[in-house]
Amino acid sequence: MCKPIEHHNVLIDAASAYWTEHYGVLYKSRHVYSTTRSHSPTRIVVWDNTCRPNPDKGKGLGDRLHGGNVLTRHSAPGTATAAYTDPHGKPTDDPVTILLSTESTVICADTRFNTGQAGSGQVYATDGLGDGDTATLVYPDGSTIEVVLRFPPHNNGHGYAVLVKGRNAQ
């Protein structure tokens, strides 16, 4: 039986300076979530694409692309025109990408640091996320965006969010 579509309010916190500098992560959900596609804790992560300029921008048909392939009319959309690349290396004009990322479960001899406990940084939210659910992401400055959550089949809990309303929505 399918899980009914639900709406979630998700508190988003600024990522640490280390995560921003080394990985390009701007924000992370305060809590982790159980999902319909994984047994691992899943966190909503906002990535900065502006730190990854598209190395193939401006190339023409027949030019060799970053990675060795040749640009053809069958190349991925935006290959030679997009300003950035997303965390998966795909061309995009979006300044941020919102991914749903699984994390390892924390298991420690000192149970205060196990997943679900505050010391682990992996405290579960009371609601679980499912494919097609909607969410309002609430940023530290009080601004919000609305997204639809997508968990493609066979992705073991990894997914993405499609921006519906808010920052840079179309």
pLDDT tens track for 42-68: 899 999 999 999 999 999 999 999 888
Average pLDDT on 126-132 reads: 88
What average pLDDT does the chain have?
87
Is the pLDDT at 168 greater than 60, yes or no? no
User: Which one has a higher pLDDT value, 22 or 155?
Assistant: 22
Residue 30 has pLDDT above 90, yes or no: yes
Position 170 scores a pLDDT of 44
- Dihedral of CA atoms 127, 132, 136, 137 in degrees, nearest 10, equals 80
pLDDT over 90 percentage in the chain:
51
What tokens appear for 117 in the block?
């406990």
- The strand pair at 134-138 and 7-14 is best described as parallel
Q: How far apart are CA 91 and CA 65, in angstroms?
A: 12
Rounded CA gap, 143 and 46, in Å? 14
Annotate 101-156 with DSSP letters as a single string: EE-PPP--SSGGGSTTSGGGT-PBPSS-B-TT-EEEEE-TTS-EEEEEEE--TTST
Tokens standing for residue 168:
């840079």
Would you say residue 27 has pLDDT above 80?
yes
Contacts of 103 (CB under 8 A, 6+ apart): 32, 40, 41, 42, 43, 122
> Does 169 score more than 90 pLDDT?
no
